[in-house]
Structure 1
């Protein structure tokens, strides 16, 4: 969106038509409220950006089908010329006509018709340029079908529109709706506006002129009509543009010109050269150069001019509105203060009521449900006061500054303290969000050059306003995604269509945007595009839930939603959507079970005892949207193994209830997942991830190797720097294991190279130590004393299997096992030729956490030369 500049934020409200409560659609579901239909159609209007159009910003839905629209606004309009009571100059009339036509032509290219063109909807900015307001009302209301009032003003409506009369879908006297108005409807309205500008007054202000007009219109000669009207109103100036006006005020719609045709009229030959064609800004993901049209001013010093230090006006309109809401802005309160929204006592809302003496009272039609198109200006004083301590440097952060991403200001200490607060508080802090939004905006504009910095800042948090683009950057989206999306056939019927149609009405239907008809259409297109473009995969139920977050965040950019989903699935759910995915799912669940045993053996033992295998690894993808956003902010920073940690973190929040219940109760618990603390889940999942050896989550059915990279959490917080799937394979790497053998093992395996790295053998140190100096890992060699003496890992402890456990499987209390008790809570790597799986299983059975097995045993380490032999005793 363009900067706020000298514009203001304005809001107006209206009611959608109410639907009967006892009527259902053909699918048996309740009818979608008209207000939700309007909300869905409105979204595309936010993408319509042109210098001659007021930018739409937001729409909110209130009680009783009330809708409040927020848009760019200016106090001055053509109505001011009418109030002056004198004709405008010819130059001004031509300027206004040309600029209105520019706006109308741009709208027409996007399939829009104004239909509500009037003097008070043609606004003027501080430089006197035209800004068309309320141009989307006709579109968002489905050509007026979803509201109880007509779109447009009788004084400006074209004859063919008036001839159609009013229409409402519930009207039994009308069999079908009239055809929607076309671009030529607005041309008539423009002609009336220009006539009023030339006359300096409103047209047809009394009945005599109205009757005379009716007589003249029957003649069908437009030159005579304009001449007579000019004489009646003293608009001699109109004669100078008579040919042009005749093309506008033409009774027959077929003969009337379109905005595009009128822009080339000779009347504009003297001013058209002063206007340059509008170039739409290049989107972030495209094949075009984003800097191709950048120009420096002739005088570089112009860039350094201070315009009253009003830095906020340089920010985009949607940013300013977002911050206005965070600073305490309330749309309904603003409209109530201006008496646009009026509350009535409940008794006054009854259609009829009777007093004790029998006297009855009834009310006519409540005029509050009609259209009051008054636009209320939203005051930015409270927002500016909230941001008064933010230094000017904060609006232009230096991306190369490695000191701090937080600028220096009077409140820098407060901002630094805010980072440590819970995420939900940070997202509601106006000053903090301003800093984060500006920083991410600059980083994303420099994407992919600044991709590493995007990752770095995303580790702190992601501002909700830029979440869609930030996710796309984290997923590595690049190139001309729009061209690729458009090349996919989304119209030809395919067998999957039926299943998609069934699933969509059940997916996140609590959300107003996704439940709208436009939301369903976009759902259908994006899902079908994915199915068609992945012929080796199939549609499984649940794919719509994966699509929902991306579609919600990129509602007006289906191509980006499709690109994000296409990048997300192979990274985290590789081959989950194969026609036969049983082997993939079974391996995934087995590894997940091993992760539960690794981090919470007591819970693992209980779940195995009752025969319950939780599928939380998939449940985490179908949380409510507001929870998914915060969860995926962190998920997208992790590699393909991070979902396992999220799943374990979820189970640990449900731990007490799971341990206290049996199989049936656990099934019911997961069929209706209780409230989960997402921030705690994210925090604990990162901790679990940092304790998990990277090879422990190896899956042979995971995504093939790519270029290794940072896992997103940084090497300072974890000693696992990348996805194990991405690591180059060596003789020390973990070998694939048959599914039956994988299921037979309770604890996960780790590779020899992982053990070497964790024990820091190449560095000469015996163990990996934390900052506190305590060992985080211990290697337990379960071979016999003789074999251990022939060569072992430096720093490992020897606990022969036959001496550590009794015949009935109980852990013996011997000095060696006493040492093992001292390592409870550390990562325990079991090493041996055989029985290592049984030894690890015994440790899990007695609730030893973080137990894993060395893949390949001691034989894997013999070729490395890292085994040591104890010196003989003298």
Structure 2
């Protein structure tokens, strides 16, 4: 969106038509409320950016189908301009006409018609340029079908609109529905506005509506409508004095028959604007972040950058985008309904005053008449920014222009307020509601994303702190490495030809996150369908599985107006975290994934693992929806956003840690319950603290050996140096790398058959990980006191002879033959005291060949439990 500058934020409200509560659609589901339909269509209006159109910002849905629309606003209108200026020069008339036509023509390119043009809706900015307001009302209400009031003003409506009468669209009692208005409708309305401007008076204002309509209809028999209107209103002399090009323009606009009336695009190239069009440069649509065009082709830098922050009285906030200002206004305590209530636009009535109207047999009526509040009140209320500016008054000017390469530009050092630097340590939900903090983060991410992909590493660095909700969609795309002309690729995919999957998609969409107003709208369903179908068509080797719609939901919600980006993010996300999950036969992939997850539970919580295995509550019963949808089927969207902010920083093994963290939150209840109770518990999952889950997931991720989560069905290795392999930076140790991305050596772990993998309770690690673990232990001793215990205990279960020939320094020898009988039963628990002293630490079991891995895994796990060491984790390392 463009900067706020001299504009203001305005809000207006109206009601959508109420639907009967006892009527269902053809699919048996309740009808979608009209307010939801309007909310879905409105989203497209936020993308319509043009210098001659007031930018739409947001829409909110209230009680009783009330909608409040936030838009760019200016106090001055064409009506005020007429009052201030007695006579308007012909040159000024042509300029206003040309600017209005530019806005109308741009709307028409996007399939929209204004239909509500009047002097109040043609605003003027600080430079006197035209800004068309409320241009989206006709579009968002589906040509007036979703509201109980007509769209447009009788004095300005074109004859063909008046000829249709007051038939409400989609009214079955009225026969065929009226055709929606076309671009030529606005040309007539503009002609009336220009005539009023030239004549210096308003047309048909003091005449009854019925008389106005009759008069306009009679104009169809007249050749020169302009002359007749001038005679009717006593301004013939003023009209005759106009230059010929202005008169020609008026006559073309006020052509009675639509077939002869020009469109806005045709008028813009008409010779009447020959001396005006050269004053205006053609509008160029800003280049998006993901395209093949140069984003900085027309970039101009000031000669002295230091001058940007020199003026202490400069309005820095005005240089931020309109949607940013509105977002900050809401964080600073802005309340739309409160603003409208203070201006008496919203008026509450006691229930006794809202009783329905009813008639007695003698014709006497009682109760309320038609509530006028449900009709359109086109008053736009200006939202005051004083409270927001007071909140941001202590933010220094330098904060609006952060230096990305300066070491002193980090948040904790560059802010003038010490309180702001402490905000980083607060919980995420508080940070997201802090006005000053969000301003700093939004500005920083905005600059980094504009430099994407060249500042990709800095985007990763800042994302580790947090991601501003306002920029989350683009930030996720950057973390997923989306690049190139995504729109062209998306457009090249056939999303219209029927395919067998269409039926399943149609069934799944109405059940996917339908509590959300945006995704439950018809526009949301349509976009869902297109993005999912594009993915299915473009991945012929994969199939549609139930759960794919849930995966799509977060990306579609964040990029509702950019289907191509939602598709691109989804296409990058699935190979990274769900590689081959959507094969036609994915059983081997799922089973390996669940087995590794089960081993992760055993590694981090042996007691819980043993209990779940004893009662038969295996991950197959509850974890498939978790991982197949990456928890989107489990949590609502607002929790998924916080969860995925961190998930995207990790590699393909990070979901294991999230799953273990969820189980640890439910640990006490799981340990106290049996199989049936656990099934009931997961059928209606209790409330999960997502911030705690994220925090514990990171801790688990950082202290899990990378080879412990090795899967042979994971995504093949990528090129080294990818930022995604080090998502948590310096806060994590070497474990944060993805084992699949590491170069294979003689010390690397080899894949196992699924049957062998299932036979092992605890995970294996590679020799590389064992060496690193030992180095960490030594390093820990040197940094701490000499009495500090090492982080791991290496248990060597080879024979005494093999142990004597060579072993890991500090390891203890517990030969397998002394601990177990030949049939695999535990005989004794040697070295009990040593194992007890390693309570809460990692135990690495070193054995001979891989064929004995299952038995050694049983040894290590059984020993841990039999010796009452409840916090150990055991690893099986093949010698």
TM-score relative to the length of structure 2 = 0.93
Determine which of 621, 624, 646 is the counterpart of 2:632.
Answer: 621
Deviations 1:183-225 (A, max 9, x none): 0000000000000000111012344995776655423444643
Q: Cα gap change, 1:837/1:392 in structure 2, threshold over 3 Å: closer, same or farther?
A: same
Q: CA deviation at 1:802?
A: 3.8
Q: CA deviation at 1:86?
A: 2.4
Paired position in structure 1 for 2:109: 109
**Contact 1:77–1:124 (8 Å) recurs in 2:** yes
Determine which of 250, 255, 261 is the counterpart of 2:260.
Answer: 255
Paired position in structure 1 for 2:761: 746
Determine which of 419, 427, 441 is the counterpart of 2:446.
Answer: 441
Q: Cα gap change, 1:215/1:486 in structure 2, threshold over 3 Å: closer, same or farther?
A: closer
Query: Which is worse superposed, 543-552 or 726-735?
Result: 726-735
Determine which of 725, 728, 734 is the counterpart of 1:713.
Answer: 728
Paired position in structure 2 for 1:386: 391
Q: Does 1:665 align with 2:687?
A: no
Paired position in structure 1 for 2:202: 202
**Contact 2:486–2:568 (8 Å) recurs in 1:** yes
1:126 aligns to what SS in structure 2?
coil
Query: Which is worse superposed, 166-175 or 501-510?
Result: 166-175
Q: Does 1:675 align with 2:687?
A: yes
2:875 aligns to what SS in structure 1?
strand
Paired position in structure 2 for 1:33: 33
Alpha-carbon separation, structure 1, partners of 2:826 and 2:782? 31
**Contact 1:394–1:408 (8 Å) recurs in 2:** no
Q: Does 1:166 align with 2:166?
A: yes
How do residues 601-620 of structure 1 correspond to structure 2 at under 5 angstroms? 601-614=606-619, 615-616=622-623, 618-619=625-626, 620=631
2:685 aligns to what SS in structure 1?
coil
Query: Which is worse superposed, 792-801 or 270-279?
Result: 792-801
1:47 aligns to what SS in structure 2?
coil
Paired position in structure 2 for 1:225: 228
**Contact 2:199–2:235 (8 Å) recurs in 1:** no
Alpha-carbon separation, structure 1, partners of 2:417 and 2:815? 59
Paired position in structure 1 for 2:502: 497
Q: Does 1:21 align with 2:33?
A: no
Alpha-carbon separation, structure 1, partners of 2:593 and 2:557? 28
Number of positions where the alignment pairs a residue of Structure 1 with one of Structure 2: 851
Paired position in structure 2 for 1:149: 149
How do residues 267-346 of structure 1 correspond to structure 2 at under 5 angstroms? 267-296=272-301, 306=311, 308-346=313-351
Q: Does 1:791 align with 2:803?
A: no
Q: Does 1:830 align with 2:845?
A: yes
Alpha-carbon separation, structure 1, partners of 2:508 and 2:219? 60
**Contact 2:16–2:147 (8 Å) recurs in 1:** yes
Q: Cα gap change, 1:806/1:299 in structure 2, threshold over 3 Å: closer, same or farther?
A: closer
Determine which of 733, 740, 758 is the counterpart of 1:725.
Answer: 740
Paired position in structure 1 for 2:749: 734
Q: Does 1:565 align with 2:577?
A: no
**Contact 2:399–2:415 (8 Å) recurs in 1:** no
Alpha-carbon separation, structure 1, partners of 2:421 and 2:825? 55
Alpha-carbon separation, structure 2, partners of 1:681 and 1:367? 51
Alpha-carbon separation, structure 2, partners of 1:395 and 1:629? 26
Paired position in structure 2 for 1:863: none
Q: Does 1:841 align with 2:848?
A: no
How do residues 781-820 of structure 1 correspond to structure 2 at under 5 angstroms? 781-804=796-819, 812=828, 814=830, 816-820=831-835
Alpha-carbon separation, structure 1, partners of 2:662 and 2:768? 30
Q: CA deviation at 1:17?
A: 0.2
**Contact 2:116–2:153 (8 Å) recurs in 1:** yes
Q: Cα gap change, 1:203/1:769 in structure 2, threshold over 3 Å: closer, same or farther?
A: farther
Determine which of 554, 557, 567 is the counterpart of 1:552.
Answer: 557
Q: Cα gap change, 1:300/1:794 in structure 2, threshold over 3 Å: closer, same or farther?
A: closer
Structure 2 unaligned regions, length at least 5: none
Q: CA deviation at 1:838?
A: 2.6
**Contact 2:226–2:254 (8 Å) recurs in 1:** no
Q: CA deviation at 1:112?
A: 0.8
Aligned CA-pair RMSD: 2.4
**Contact 1:50–1:103 (8 Å) recurs in 2:** yes
Q: CA deviation at 1:239?
A: 5.6
Query: Which is worse superposed, 228-237 or 831-840?
Result: 228-237
Deviations 1:95-123 (A, max 9, x none): 10000000001111111110001100000
**Contact 2:227–2:236 (8 Å) recurs in 1:** no
Alpha-carbon separation, structure 2, partners of 1:542 and 1:116? 44
